[in-house]
Amino acid sequence: MNLIIDVGNSFIKLAVFELNRVLDKKIVSAENFLKNFEKFIEKHQFIEYGIISAVSNVKEADLLSIKRVCKLFVLDHQTPVPFTNLYATPKTLGLDRVALVCAAVHQFKNKNVLIIDAGTCITYDFVSSKAEYLGGGISPGLQLRYKALHNYTAKLPLLQPEMPQDIVGNSTAASIHSGIVFGIINEIEGTILQYTNTYENLTIVLTGGDAEFLSKQLKCSIFVSSTFLLQGLNSVLRFNTD
């Protein structure tokens, strides 16, 4: 079994895989990582390998605890991956994006894939049918847009995301929801259209924290996965250990 650890700014995702199947997963706070990690790992006694996506927010003592459980790989820009990276600045490519591309190459062999990760930022990543990563795009995510309207204007309120009832907002709140949500929907659909016009037989994957919220409004055929990044980390680990 493999232990997968995806480190974020505030939260850390833990998962246990058997081959390509998720057996268990949990989200824990970075502050109380060790206590939660020990409880999580008690249920899984036969872990051989592990991978962690970043160590910047993990204490050295926590890393040592993980290494006692399994042989730990730390994903960085030197880690062998199953695709050719044609990004002009490969060392600046986020490790989360690296993991997403690995998942795409593993699950959709010999296909053109556009991965859309709707999180803090919305990232677009394209990998060709030849397993060549070409790049993509980055734009503000759902929560960022709500916060930006509040923080950079004098009177607009800070709202929680809500699916608008109509394109025409008949109040300030309704107008904010319409502008942000439909703006993102149109951005995603427009981006998909541009890629579709350029690359044949395009597979589209939508993942990230806001994937479920946004997918209900998207008209195109997409593959929605909440665990795609974890699957990508697992595929990197298997690529280096199998």
Could you report how far apart the first and last alpha carbons of the chain are, in Å? 12
| Binding region for K(+) | 117
Please report, in range form, the residues annotated as the binding site for substrate: 87, 94-97, 172
Q: Which of 24, 62, 76, 96 is catalytic?
A: 96
Query: Annotated binding residues, as ranges?
Result: 6-13, 87, 94-97, 117, 120, 172
Residues 172 and 184: their CA atoms lie apart, in Å, by 18
Nearest to 102 by CA among 120, 136, 73, 125: 125
* Residues flagged as binding site for ATP: 6-13, 120
3-class SS of residue 133:
strand
Contacts of 161 (CB under 8 A, 6+ apart): 142, 143, 146, 177, 180, 181, 210, 213
Burial degree of 16 (CB within 10 A; 0-12, 13-18, 19+): buried
| Spatial separation of the C-alpha atoms in residues 19 and 3, rounded to whole Å | 11
CA distance 184 to 217: 10
For 165-226, strand residue ranges (E) read: 202-207, 223-224
CA separation for the pair 191, 218 (Å, rounded):
12
Q: Amino acid identity, residue 200?
A: E
- Residue 210 annotated among the catalytic residues of the structure: no
Burial class (CB in 10 A: 0-12, 13-18, 19+), 176: buried
Catalytic residues: 96
